A and B are shown apart, each in its own frame.
Chain A
């Protein structure tokens, strides 16, 4: 679904990604871990072209993207992204947040967009919040709306960048549950998270990023019980 081939990304003199190779299969859930500054967010952002790679190749659903020539809006419409700080549109109600892109980008009719949005709100357990503004929601509710908003575009893959890191501990579960359901429905997902229980239970594969390179890629059991890299061992001790 996503194929990264020898990705390099620098900010000025700082090389953040140093040749990343990664292939995510359809319906696969990949959890991305690593210490702060290892390049997790940058990698995710390259996948939907919020950052442009300096070298290498990104292929989404069989199409290799040339970020200089291709219509990036079109590519991004197929790749959902959920942010740490939700980034809901504060001037729009919950339902307006969700129908915005389907109507503007996919030129969906309003009635159809609303119908789909309501189904999605139902799915994330917020059917009663359709007409409130985001500032009236808790963090967990905001993040679930943000997930519904991404899903409204019917993306082929969903990227999550620390979706629960900004939440109070008691609100984390409701968001993880929605993500878990999504995984079970067969959504292809790449998730950056520090929630190791989620990684253990939901991930098909856990990838450890360290100073811009992948140093470990294994199924959860192997990752936690028998990691091959010394730094992975240290990291696991740190987070467990």
Chain B
């Protein structure tokens, strides 16, 4: 009898599982077709825009003029409900960074000569810089500024100044849309599909992986061998990471060549971070499969996870347009963070430092899901 400790993890056993999963994947034509078909189908479906009216968008003010007129303008913007004035900054670089990291959606620049020009009747220019990655989020707010421009100073411009009011619009709002200047919805939706498609297929496929073994009775055999739970999990996850990458590449190709989405950032960085996201979803699927008693239940659980991932992640509706509770749920979902990463890298050219705040939630999620999965995986039939 060999004296080796059977507790140690073994590369042989891990590789045995990986190979087996690949062969089974190859044999299961329907599932394989689904893995390729779903991204294509979703690309077609979500080529359409989904509109809404998000409010209270975080906004930074860079006011060089602090006079009473400027303050009235700021108050009016705040009252419009579209802008939540969360930051004030004097530095242009700081403002740019806030926009790039996604801390604010707008920067409102009030020029130094705002009051002076206004009094001279010269129509001062207020520059609004918008993060237009998601046009659905910025559009309504920008329209609102037009209405504000016409009436905001009515109360201040009295007496001798009333003549200024008569002019059509005493202030000139200039909009500078960053990242997606033409406000093309597909630029936002198509990269977002990457997260949605991966969530859908990765969770479903792995949710079925262990449940299927239990339903077909092969689990009893597997449990009677020396194979360890971690070996089963990792062995089942690895092959589907490859599938995930194929799906991601399909979508990126479609984004580039069908929808003409700009790709400013580093694609290698995107592929690297995708690994985390794919693994996180696979771990969720595995966890579901340890909870479900049959394949139908596993699919239902996967669907239960998929719905908030598509609705509350910022894919379907602009994240900031959602009620606070929904934003909280969204924050717990890996897709929310992944969407920001994909859009950030592709449309804003974000680098590692800008996406770092979205990476650690993914890591945390992966660790938690994996732990639950391994803990829940029963080594016996008890």
**B is a partner of A:** no
